[in-house]
Amino acid sequence: MVKKLFPQVDGFVHGGDYNPEQWLDRPDILEEDVRMMKKAGVNCVTLGVFSWAVYEPEEGQFTFDWLEEIVDRLYENGIYFILATPSGARPAWLDEKYPEAMRVSDRGVRNHHGVRHNHCMTSPIYREKVAILDRKLSEKFGHHPGFLMFHISNEFGGECYCDACAEKFRGFVKEMFHGDVRALNHAWWTTFWSHCYQSFDQVEPPYANGERSVMGLNLAWRRFTSANTIDFMKAEINAVREATPEAMVTTNFMWLFGGLDYHEMAKELDVISWDSYPRFGNDSESFAETMGDTAFEHSLMRSMKKDRPFMLMESTPSLVNWHDYNKLKRPGMHRISCLQAVACGSDTVQYFQWRKGRGAFEQYHGAVIDHLGTDDTRVFREVREVSDDLEKIKGALGSLPKNRVAILFDWDNRWAINDMMGLSKHTKNYETTCVNLYKDLLSLGVDADVIPVTEDLGVYDLVFAPMLYLLKPGMADRLKAYVSQGGRLVATYLTGYVDEQTLCYLGGFPGDGLSELFGVISEEIDTLYPKDRNGMRFADGSVWEVQDYAEILRLQDAKVLASYTGDFYKDQPALTVKDYGKGKAYYVAARGSRAQQTIYLKKLLAACQIPMQELPDGVEYHERYLGDTCYAFYLNVSDQEVFIPHIEGENLINGSSIYGTMRLAPFEAGVLCK
């Protein structure tokens, strides 16, 4: 069934953040905005992200007329709106009167008023003030014909160490251990360094100048911060839904942001949306490499709700102002990056922002309309081109990817890995390991979903579980069930070391029964210096270079596919497989070099009968399906002309018919409907 996010909008949503409250004394500019939006092909704007001080200039004094006028005019001109709740930044009167709304740092010091995203998520008065305004906004605007959805707050993140948060944290921990302090002491191994708790009242957040040596505590704090933010967000959702129970809600995620468990957050949202600000190539990486990172992020986002498209809520049409070096997107980069989002499953292309703010922090951030103020700029023309592209492929609206391969990605796991004391401070790289795996699969024409560990694995032919260090309850059994029913699973070094509280498994890693699934026990793990190299030699003589980490295995009943080439564990197993039920469980005991990862992936994909494609360097391939109709996206993300063989059909982007070879200019895309 076609799942269009916004049936009332004809085509992809194309637009972005619009801050008319900064221009209320310039009605000429506000009029001009609408004219130029239409010319740019903008059909939706996001309003009110930071408008609190204008809505409520003094406590309890509300003004919404200015916005009513604007949304009416937009709608008359065919432009819809997404309405944000303005809780991302607070007016000065609020902090002056209620300082407890301001966040407290990890040294226990209260912030001063200013910037944004710096509130205490626990503070009752802050929650109350937000809820009052949220209710009013949904009453006023939630029934407007131009209204599409609520955008809850903005880029949630950060933590607060105030007394109220500390108290709430104690309650959270107490509940986690059902009030049994002995269970806490056991799970967190607090006899170590005499850190036992006699009562839950003694539990404190991990202050920078306090207790940071208990891994279970650190992880609990991260879980709490995430849960408390989600709780705050839910309170906002409830408030806006009082007047508009049917309204859709989203909040804008940020790439691989580590501060919140987005998988948990996603459960409360109707649609996933996110803000993408990659570097578009830099000193050490090509544009194609950084585009690969973004493709991973798109996949992570879309895989949180696989039954509907996601939204690219923000991106820049030209440049940002907060990178170390704020280089312009070269001509063509904007167009191809928008098409990449769509190729990966987005039904929207949105920007930060429509018009540059004249002063303050973001005055030099890219926007569709520059301080120059005209519609004849390079950036404006490229935005218009995007809108034309979207029109040409609008048949793909509501279509969804259908991937056979998945990569597991988990916040608890990344928190636990990044916090563990051991290995190296510099090379653990859980996130990069997952991203590089995704990119190398993509280079073979295989798009993968990046899924939560709790997801149903049965729909995939091949599942990668890179560095699955922490096992959630039931995880090991689910992996076993998946393989025994015919799934192919690939795990790596650092699998199954700890349980959900970070206590090590006894009796051999991978723990919780997984050594039986893989037929190996990892007895030791070697951390290599940056210059050290080893290798894994396969039966055909090929060698995959090893760096960073190598586990020494006790072989139980697995078959050895590759052995180490050097060091004191030379000739011992490095890559194994075990037939388990109807499936296969692979164990890759060492980190193979990125440069040669595709050598091994090709062998694996061939063994698992996953079709690959020969693509020229710098070409990404993604598919979206609408029933049996497949929209095939070929993206040339390189600055070279490329030729892609074996193509037949019409390129919807330029209307050309292709028999045999498709030529794509630098940054050009071909979209075929098959």
What is the Cα–Cα distance from 446 to 329, expressed in whole angstroms? 27
φ and ψ of 526, to 5 deg = -100, 130
Indicate whether 365 belongs to the interface with ligand GLA (CB under 6 A). yes
Active site (annotated) includes residue 96:
no
Residue closer to ligand GLA, measured from CB, 149 or 664: 149
What is the nearest approach in angstroms of ligand GLA to the Cβ of residue 16? 10
Indicate whether 590 belongs to the interface with ligand GLA (CB under 6 A). no
Indicate whether 516 belongs to the interface with ligand GLA (CB under 6 A). no
What is the nearest approach in angstroms of ligand GLA to the Cβ of residue 310? 16
What is the nearest approach in angstroms of ligand GLA to the Cβ of residue 19? 9
Number of residues located near ligand GLA, criterion CB under 6 A: 10
What is the nearest approach in angstroms of ligand GLA to the Cβ of residue 275? 4
Q: Which of 21, 314, 516, 545 is catalytic?
A: 314
What is the nearest approach in angstroms of ligand GLA to the Cβ of residue 252? 6
Burial class (CB in 10 A: 0-12, 13-18, 19+), 109: exposed
Residues in the chain: 674
Residue closer to Zn ion, measured from CB, 232 or 505: 232
Q: Confirm if 398 and 4 have CB atoms less than 8 A apart.
A: yes
162 binds, among Zn ion, ligand GLA, none (CB under 5 to 8 A by kind): Zn ion
Residue closer to ligand GLA, measured from CB, 153 or 340: 153
Residue closer to Zn ion, measured from CB, 119 or 591: 119
Tokens standing for 396?
A: 């793909």
Residue of 82, 187, 320, 396 that binds ligand GLA (CB under 6 A): 320
- ∠ CA 321-326-330 to the nearest 5 degrees? 120
What is the nearest approach in angstroms of Zn ion to the Cβ of residue 447? 41
Phi-psi category of residue 508: left, alpha or beta, with phi > 0 → left and psi -120 to 50 → alpha: left
What is the nearest approach in angstroms of Zn ion to the Cβ of residue 86? 20
Tokens standing for 541?
A: 């003589």
What is the Cα–Cα distance from 222 to 259, expressed in whole angstroms? 7
Q: Confirm if 149 and 247 have CB atoms less than 8 A apart.
A: yes
What is the Cα–Cα distance from 203 to 211, expressed in whole angstroms? 9
Active site (annotated) includes residue 314:
yes
| Positions 132 through 161 that interact with ligand GLA (CB under 6 A) | 154-155
Indicate whether 275 belongs to the interface with ligand GLA (CB under 6 A). yes
What is the nearest approach in angstroms of ligand GLA to the Cβ of residue 313? 8
Give the residue at shortest CB distance from ligand GLA: 275
What is the Cα–Cα distance from 101 to 177, expressed in whole angstroms? 29
Q: Which of 155, 236, 516, 623 is catalytic?
A: 155
What is the Cα–Cα distance from 407 to 448, expressed in whole angstroms? 7
- Farthest CA pair distance, the chain: 77
Bridge-based pairing state of the strands 147-151 and 80-84: parallel
293 binds, among ligand GLA, Zn ion, none (CB under 5 to 8 A by kind): none
120 binds, among Zn ion, ligand GLA, none (CB under 5 to 8 A by kind): Zn ion
Residue closer to ligand GLA, measured from CB, 320 or 521: 320
What single-letter amino acid sits at 501? Q
Indicate whether 279 belongs to the interface with ligand GLA (CB under 6 A). no
| Positions 29 through 58 that interact with ligand GLA (CB under 6 A) | 49
What is the Cα–Cα distance from 278 to 18, expressed in whole angstroms? 21
What is the Cα–Cα distance from 602 to 609, expressed in whole angstroms? 10
Which residues are within 8 A (CB) of 380 and not within 5 positions of it... i.e. 6 or more apart? 36, 40, 368, 369, 374
Residue closer to Zn ion, measured from CB, 122 or 502: 122
What pairs with residue 45 in β-bridges?
A: 16, 81
Indicate whether 253 belongs to the interface with ligand GLA (CB under 6 A). no
155 binds, among Zn ion, ligand GLA, none (CB under 5 to 8 A by kind): ligand GLA
Q: Confirm if 468 and 408 have CB atoms less than 8 A apart.
A: yes
Which residues are within 8 A (CB) of 90 and not within 5 positions of it... i.e. 6 or more apart? 52, 101, 113, 119, 126
214 binds, among Zn ion, ligand GLA, none (CB under 5 to 8 A by kind): none
Give residues in contact with Zn ion (CB under 5 A). Answer: 120, 122, 160, 162, 165
Residue closer to ligand GLA, measured from CB, 317 or 592: 317
Give CA torsion, residues 51, 57, 58, 60, to 10 deg. Answer: -50
What pairs with residue 524 in β-bridges?
A: 552
Indicate whether 297 belongs to the interface with ligand GLA (CB under 6 A). no
Tokens standing for 290?
A: 């950084």
Residue closer to Zn ion, measured from CB, 172 or 438: 172
What is the nearest approach in angstroms of ligand GLA to the Cβ of residue 580? 45
Residue closer to Zn ion, measured from CB, 45 or 160: 160
What is the nearest approach in angstroms of ligand GLA to the Cβ of residue 521? 46
Indicate whether 314 belongs to the interface with ligand GLA (CB under 6 A). yes
Could you say which DSSP state residue 512 is in?
A: T
Taking the CA atoms of 100, 102, 103 and 108 in sequence, report the sign of the dihedral they define.
negative
277 binds, among Zn ion, ligand GLA, none (CB under 5 to 8 A by kind): ligand GLA
Could you say which DSSP state residue 101 is in?
A: G
Indicate whether 482 belongs to the interface with ligand GLA (CB under 6 A). no
| Positions 414 through 433 that interact with ligand GLA (CB under 6 A) | none
Terminal C-alpha separation, the chain: 18
Indicate whether 352 belongs to the interface with ligand GLA (CB under 6 A). yes
134 binds, among ligand GLA, Zn ion, none (CB under 5 to 8 A by kind): none
Indicate whether 277 belongs to the interface with ligand GLA (CB under 6 A). yes
Indicate whether 301 belongs to the interface with ligand GLA (CB under 6 A). no
What is the Cα–Cα distance from 296 to 447, expressed in whole angstroms? 9
- Using CA atoms, how far residue 44 sits from 75, 142, 295, 487, in Å, is 9, 15, 24, 43
What is the Cα–Cα distance from 211 to 614, expressed in whole angstroms? 53
Give the residue numbers annotated as catalytic, written as ranges. 155, 314
Q: Which residues bind ligand GLA (CB under 6 A)?
A: 49, 154-155, 275, 277, 314, 320, 352, 362, 365
